[in-house]
Amino acid sequence: MGKTTNGTRDWAQIYAIYGIEQKHTLIFLIINAIAFSVLSTVFFIYFNPICVFFQSFLFSNAAAARFSAGFFGAVTALSAVCLFFAAVNFFYSAVPLRYEMAQRMVGSVGDWSSVKTALDLGCGRGILLNAVATQLKKTGSSGRVVGLDRSMTTTLSTLRTAHIEGVQEYVTCREGDVRRLPFSDNYFDVVVSAVFLHTVGKEYGQKTVEAAAERMRVLGEAVRVLKPGGVGVVWDLVHVPEYVRRLQELRMEEIRVSKRVTAFMVKSHMVSFKKPSQHFVGSGEVRLDWRC
């Protein structure tokens, strides 16, 4: 297997530690790709008999039968190629890309030595969580990173990966609702999240107003628990323009959006921002206590 972009970790090693989420999706893509490959091969090998079959039962014209057989053969072959490509992209996005993006997200925070508390929303298997913990360890910080997930089973698995990575003393995992974060205002120096926010509210449908409202609620909660002067970094799929507009409404500073990165066959971006040290609500009024 190849090396990651930082040249220090082998992909096989990363897969061994973190595995793959949603394996059923990858298996589904591979099975269908193989099925379409077999079908297109059958069309290629037995093209003439298939043409005869088409002519006998579906078409009276030989040219029409040959065109139809060729068309169906080409469609099955193209489908096989697309499905194999989708499977490879999913396989790559599931771990190597996540690992590489985790390094980029960590790198977008300027000074980790002063970070005492960090939060990973939707920590999942802990790829980003452990990247943050590793950075804290490298800088000699006494800080800790909290991973929040909806499943206690996931958090226990995440703690195991932190132990394997040798950063368990920097990591705490909690089960909780990201829409109502169990933390006080202005608590964290850094808040991060990787390909998670788009899953919030999916029970309403991805394109519904209700789902968008749920995503904005989580973003507001992230801002609420972030300390004045703290940094937030979000990498997510599809909905990043919504996040940027909401961050502008919340008067965040230094909002930056990365170039497009294709992940899981869709566009994704990384957006970083800084919570201002003071929040001007109105003329002459300053509020340090954020509630979004």
pTM recorded for the entire structure: 0.80
- Distance (Å, whole) CA 227 – CA 69: 65
DSSP string, 67-131: HHHHHHHHHHHHHHHHHHHHHHHHHHIIIIIHHHHHHHHHHTSS-STT--EEEEET-TTSHHHHH
Name the helix (H) or strand (E) containing 232: strand 226-237
Tell me the per-residue pLDDT of 15-43, one tens digit each, with 9 for 90 and over. 778 877 777 888 888 999 999 999 999 98
For the CA atoms of 169, 175, 180, 182, what is the dihedral angle to 10 degrees? -40
Compute the mean pLDDT over every residue in the chain, rounded to the nearest whole number: 86
Tell me the per-residue pLDDT of 58-68, one tens digit each, with 9 for 90 and over. 666 788 888 88
Q: 190 — phi, psi (to 5°)?
A: -140, 135
Residue 287 has which token pair? 């509020």
Tell me the per-residue pLDDT of 149-161, one tens digit each, with 9 for 90 and over. 887 777 888 899 9
For the CA atoms of 252, 257, 263, 265, what is the dihedral angle to 10 degrees? 110
